[in-house]
Structure 1
């Protein structure tokens, strides 16, 4: 009898241990829960095929494999690193020539800022299997449409490499660090307009349009680089802060044949941005999107390459700001597709080649979130939208006249598509809070799944032993009547009769979204780890976040941090009144804009939040860059109160709770200056707080054991203070 009871008890203990296996920070940040994907997935243009970069960790080799869309069968391996020892460091990325007979392969990449890098490049002839190293540590090499030349940037100048003669011709000669940049964006363009290559080939391969940046008058920012040297070195770069001098930009067209450059007269504009550059299907017309400094007026220009004359084809104005679009697509007759939120929601429009609107393709109180392409043969547009709720994504097709709309995605969650060249098939990437990412081949006719390509069943099975909670979605209504999307993780052994501490997470930046029905990221695993230690974790997307229309997104204009902070405080009050919540133990965490928010929340909501963690926060909008800050705030000279009334640095005296401030010294984006001045403000307010500085770490604060140490530090702070 005793033996039976003992065995039963041991079984129960064993079962409980398995069922409640704890997640650790070490597991999360060493990739134990990483989902499988399709790396460098590219749809071909000339054949109904696609390529994927596959890796074999056991042999440390990579290969670019070609697959058939209709059957999913591998057609061939285009290149494998095991056949070319010179590529032993791997393939970082690759690009095809227009005829898809040649490949440019990047290797030995060296990061500059968020998007920019230099790399060594190899030219690979797919037919002859000849691999040649042609360029060392250059930026953005791009095939000419006819595949005979490659334009690239190096040390702030532009060049053209002729494949046949293997010779390079220098296009510009005045490039100089921290002074003149040709064909590559400056720091603030790269960060806030999210592009690096500021040059483009004409369709006949005879001309190159490019932007020149004169940043000689832009103020400089210097960061100390410590490493392990006896004396630190300095990294100095141009960084225009809000209200300060921007780079002067100019537009140019280089003629490859006569090697002459034409300057485009943009004299009608003053203190402006060239936010996009793209050649139209007419080899004589270059398009450019020009924004005024307030970013509330956008002109789409068509520039005549022969005369150099620009013409405004389309104009958009907004009382707040106009978003730059990447969805400009030129059709065969040079009419074009364009996305805009001019009716209050982001939708697809089609214009003729003169800029006259033909029709609005999509309509409704919902947003188009991605434009996938246009099937010219059948006159069908493919896109992704939030038509079924702002927290989900679905794939649709619709005729160019706006009729015959068909929902192609089949499952509720987040769906994204990569279409075959003939639009007969698409690879659907699907995930939800309960389903890790699944890649399937689907029919574009009705959206039905034909075959699974990649699943993450092994990951789903692995996670079962952790007995993890499910993210619960709900709509939270504040006392002021604001309806906000929210989610919550509760402990798996949740007991409604108990009182739980709550740890809130948010980002809250303009147009952002954290409450979305998709698969978990590393933060989600950390949050679930916290639930295993007795915490509820919640997230609320307040006013100013995205995908609920322009009015909801733009209501924070000229007062960043006012309504967003109000909503987090009000949401915390609502959550604090839940019967199972201990309202005296509510904390908040955020990174970057979220760090700005969590700092403001513990200062302006001192009686609501017991603790806050702020990582890499903006503490004074005067310290942040011109393009981002002025888009939402105008300049400090025009809107001083908007800056000062919402910057946490000015409210240090309000601190009551426990505050942890974290920053990397090599953060080129949100400078450590923000935290240094916040620290000084708190010291002079005689406030006790905790802080951690990470030497030589950028805005992401990672590398080696950094993330593990950082998240263990934050975990311990939560356990001690909340």
Structure 2
């Protein structure tokens, strides 16, 4: 009996033995077998104290509410949806793999979601009380960018480059441009810079549609070679390179009742940018941020929605570097004459209360907190809630600000990352919290008493499964000796301080990105931990120029991308070299996109430090990058020839000493392949050996199952040339 028990214990232990990640787990394990327990598609039901989300089976919409002491109950099932749709549309067949992830609440009783039938796709409004479909607006199976009107009776959608409105079962062709260079209603206007994520906006009373009209007929074509055809063919895209001709954009108002159009009179140079597009709550005016191509002068203008006429400029912003509008206006509920505007004009992106005459009523910023997400208001719009970056950008906390007094209260306190949604009345917050030692704590917080009710505390998904290497957050001083920089150090598995280990520096370094945060895993992906399991020290630092630290921290990059960023990365290298366990002769670097540019730059400018590099989708000369992003940070090649010259890695190819692998997607429409091809050509011309790998069917990122192949290639390259 004892022998059998001992045998059982041995086999049981073997079954749960810890192991290193497979390359598949290192790629997608965070979202699959190592996923941290969390709520899926959580939302507050309007005008209630009820939270809804999709359950663990992904088949039911469930709810927790205050009245039920936050116990979980089923509100609506996938089967309920199918039954309701079948009753409304008996000639259609519907099937759902999961409950619709993109559901939203239109009001206290109405869900909005999309449903694909055998004949059409529908935008559906469903009453959850009686489980009946209120409306189902059919749109084409090939529809894109679909937007439902405020009253739920009409949908605007794109058929290639034209806009169609479906109303009362009939399709209305809003535009009929046969030239594909005229693009209507697309969210890919100004290449989705300036916070643009929509190209069409219904008026509040659903009688008009406002949309972008983008004329890019004059923009140069760039060929993307399609390799799958018998004879490879070129697919041309419009790609406005820095300093070259850019697109011309206007805003058009379409009146649904009379089928007439009005063009907003956004006078000025044709190549200016139109941003922050916002309807007034009464539908009588339209507000637009008009930004010059130089991106250093913004005008917030008001226009008449009936005539398109310019009314007035509310205010202007100018900067010696650049002005970067990223958000639409947020009108104060119940007040058509006041709105919130987000800007970093005084050093940190914060909220300002304005009236519609353009008068600044109140600065609502708090200390050096950077607003990262505006959440909403409480009853009567007395207070506004937002998430802000604090603790030198490491933490995310929830704040509440009184609109009248400007007084701000920090609602959450635990150091780490809080992701929150606020109930309609502002009295309750659903808070999901993590830090480097906490996978995910989910609770309901009363904003008046600060009392928290825990819904669950997620377990560590790695316990008894794998040896998760030790990680710690560190601080390094910037190259100017003034600024603390956030770093993340992952130690090799089975770390022995008496040994020396090779290093993989993972870098991005560019604007609007932050790799190191005080949350679970320190913000790292599992591939970083996989490399640590293979015996590497894995190090990352957020240099000046990266996100969530304020205007001056980021704008230091202006006209010289990569220069100060590299100087800060070398401060990180100095930090590493101060560690007895780091093998200073075996330091490598890996990054993608801006990180690919940084990787290549470091391999060349710091050739005696970095032995191995893997650069994915790298910008190699900023003159090959697009107007909107490239000119913001570098100005044009004509205006800044010295900056373009000094930051071009093509010009620096003769400096290469180590082993460098360049990877590119052949269909990359963001960093076009010409960048890396020109660099490879320069290496050949200078007798420098460089490795090159192409993913023929991928764009800027390698996705899907091929991502596993990519990560294996990166790991193999470091093992071959750095580890030995």
Deviation at 1:257, TM superposition (A): 2.1
- Note closer, same or farther for the CA distance 1:100–1:147 as it changes in structure 2 (3 Å cut): farther
- Note closer, same or farther for the CA distance 1:665–1:463 as it changes in structure 2 (3 Å cut): farther
Deviation at 1:337, TM superposition (A): 0.8
1:427 maps to which of 407, 427, 430: 430
1:28 aligns with 2:31: no
User: Which residue number corresponds to residue 113 of structure 1?
Assistant: none
Matches within 5 A, 1:286-365: 286-310=286-310, 311-326=312-327, 328-331=329-332, 332-365=335-368
User: Which residue number corresponds to residue 90 of structure 2?
Assistant: none
- Where 2:529 maps in the other structure, the secondary structure is helix
1:135 maps to which of 116, 134, 139: 139
Distance in 2 (CA, whole Å) between partners of 1:423 and 1:17 is 48
Distance in 1 (CA, whole Å) between partners of 2:611 and 2:518 is 29
Which stretches in structure 2 are left out of the alignment for 5+ residues?
A: 87-92
Which stretches in structure 1 are left out of the alignment for 5+ residues?
A: 110-118
Write the deviation string for residues 444-486 of structure 1: whole angstroms up to 9, x where unpaired. 2244321315x531xx143444232232112112565253221
Distance in 2 (CA, whole Å) between partners of 1:716 and 1:45 is 52
- Note closer, same or farther for the CA distance 1:302–1:45 as it changes in structure 2 (3 Å cut): farther
Distance in 2 (CA, whole Å) between partners of 1:108 and 1:515 is 43
Q: Could you tell me whether the CA contact under 8 Å between 1:469 and 1:489 is conserved in 2?
A: yes
User: Which residue number corresponds to residue 255 of structure 2?
Assistant: 255
1:622 aligns with 2:614: no
Write the deviation string for residues 181-224 of structure 1: whole angstroms up to 9, x where unpaired. 1221346433x234342221222222222221111111112212
- Where 1:572 maps in the other structure, the secondary structure is helix
- Where 1:579 maps in the other structure, the secondary structure is coil
User: Which residue number corresponds to residue 444 of structure 1?
Assistant: 447
Q: Could you tell me whether the CA contact under 8 Å between 2:94 and 2:115 is conserved in 1?
A: no
User: Which residue number corresponds to residue 408 of structure 1?
Assistant: 411
User: Which residue number corresponds to residue 87 of structure 1?
Assistant: 95
User: Which residue number corresponds to residue 110 of structure 2?
Assistant: 101
Deviation at 1:79, TM superposition (A): 4.9
Distance in 1 (CA, whole Å) between partners of 2:112 and 2:578 is 60
Distance in 2 (CA, whole Å) between partners of 1:294 and 1:435 is 45
- Note closer, same or farther for the CA distance 1:467–1:15 as it changes in structure 2 (3 Å cut): farther
Q: Could you tell me whether the CA contact under 8 Å between 2:385 and 2:400 is conserved in 1?
A: yes
Distance in 1 (CA, whole Å) between partners of 2:653 and 2:43 is 50
Deviation at 1:267, TM superposition (A): 2.1
Normalization by structure 1: what TM-score?
0.89
Write the deviation string for residues 148-191 of structure 1: whole angstroms up to 9, x where unpaired. 322222222223222xx3112222222642x111221346433x
- Note closer, same or farther for the CA distance 1:616–1:402 as it changes in structure 2 (3 Å cut): farther
Distance in 2 (CA, whole Å) between partners of 1:133 and 1:207 is 17
- Where 1:436 maps in the other structure, the secondary structure is strand
- Where 2:380 maps in the other structure, the secondary structure is coil
User: Which residue number corresponds to residue 693 of structure 1?
Assistant: 694
User: Which residue number corresponds to residue 144 of structure 1?
Assistant: 149
Count residues in correspondence. Answer: 694
Write the deviation string for residues 53-94 of structure 1: whole angstroms up to 9, x where unpaired. 45737xxxx444555466444362065466465234654634
User: Which residue number corresponds to residue 392 of structure 1?
Assistant: 395
- Note closer, same or farther for the CA distance 1:386–1:93 as it changes in structure 2 (3 Å cut): closer
Distance in 1 (CA, whole Å) between partners of 2:556 and 2:563 is 10
User: Which residue number corresponds to residue 534 of structure 1?
Assistant: 535
User: Which residue number corresponds to residue 470 of structure 1?
Assistant: 470
User: Which residue number corresponds to residue 673 of structure 1?
Assistant: 674
Deviation at 1:381, TM superposition (A): 1.3
Distance in 1 (CA, whole Å) between partners of 2:426 and 2:16 is 47
Moved more, 656-665 or 100-109: 100-109
Q: Could you tell me whether the CA contact under 8 Å between 1:199 and 1:277 is conserved in 2?
A: no
- Where 1:86 maps in the other structure, the secondary structure is coil
User: Which residue number corresponds to residue 707 of structure 2?
Assistant: 707
1:371 maps to which of 371, 374, 381: 374
Distance in 1 (CA, whole Å) between partners of 2:567 and 2:17 is 40
Q: Could you tell me whether the CA contact under 8 Å between 2:378 and 2:427 is conserved in 1?
A: no
Matches within 5 A, 1:132-211: 132=136, 134-136=138-140, 137-162=142-167, 165-174=168-177, 176-177=179-180, 179-186=181-188, 188-190=190-192, 192-211=193-212
- Where 2:520 maps in the other structure, the secondary structure is coil
- Note closer, same or farther for the CA distance 1:358–1:19 as it changes in structure 2 (3 Å cut): same
User: Which residue number corresponds to residue 555 of structure 1?
Assistant: 556
Deviation at 1:696, TM superposition (A): 0.4
- Note closer, same or farther for the CA distance 1:582–1:529 as it changes in structure 2 (3 Å cut): same
Distance in 2 (CA, whole Å) between partners of 1:593 and 1:559 is 13
- Note closer, same or farther for the CA distance 1:18–1:528 as it changes in structure 2 (3 Å cut): farther
Moved more, 665-674 or 513-522: 513-522
- Where 1:440 maps in the other structure, the secondary structure is strand
Deviation at 1:286, TM superposition (A): 1.0
Distance in 2 (CA, whole Å) between partners of 1:161 and 1:654 is 60
User: Which residue number corresponds to residue 380 of structure 1?
Assistant: 383
Moved more, 250-259 or 554-563: 250-259
Distance in 2 (CA, whole Å) between partners of 1:317 and 1:108 is 51
Q: Could you tell me whether the CA contact under 8 Å between 2:16 and 2:464 is conserved in 1?
A: no
- Note closer, same or farther for the CA distance 1:699–1:35 as it changes in structure 2 (3 Å cut): farther
Moved more, 510-519 or 26-35: 26-35
Q: Could you tell me whether the CA contact under 8 Å between 1:187 and 1:239 is conserved in 2?
A: no
Distance in 1 (CA, whole Å) between partners of 2:233 and 2:449 is 60
Q: Could you tell me whether the CA contact under 8 Å between 1:67 and 1:76 is conserved in 2?
A: no
Q: Could you tell me whether the CA contact under 8 Å between 1:145 and 1:203 is conserved in 2?
A: yes
Q: Could you tell me whether the CA contact under 8 Å between 1:478 and 1:574 is conserved in 2?
A: no
User: Which residue number corresponds to residue 112 of structure 1?
Assistant: none
RMSD over aligned CA atoms reads 3.0
Normalization by structure 2: what TM-score?
0.89
Distance in 2 (CA, whole Å) between partners of 1:300 and 1:550 is 20
Deviation at 1:283, TM superposition (A): 1.6
Deviation at 1:145, TM superposition (A): 2.1
Distance in 2 (CA, whole Å) between partners of 1:122 and 1:261 is 25
- Note closer, same or farther for the CA distance 1:708–1:302 as it changes in structure 2 (3 Å cut): same
Write the deviation string for residues 635-677 of structure 1: whole angstroms up to 9, x where unpaired. 1111122112112121111111111111111112112222222
- Note closer, same or farther for the CA distance 1:138–1:479 as it changes in structure 2 (3 Å cut): closer
User: Which residue number corresponds to residue 500 of structure 2?
Assistant: 499
Write the deviation string for residues 483-514 of structure 1: whole angstroms up to 9, x where unpaired. 32211011243333322222111110023211
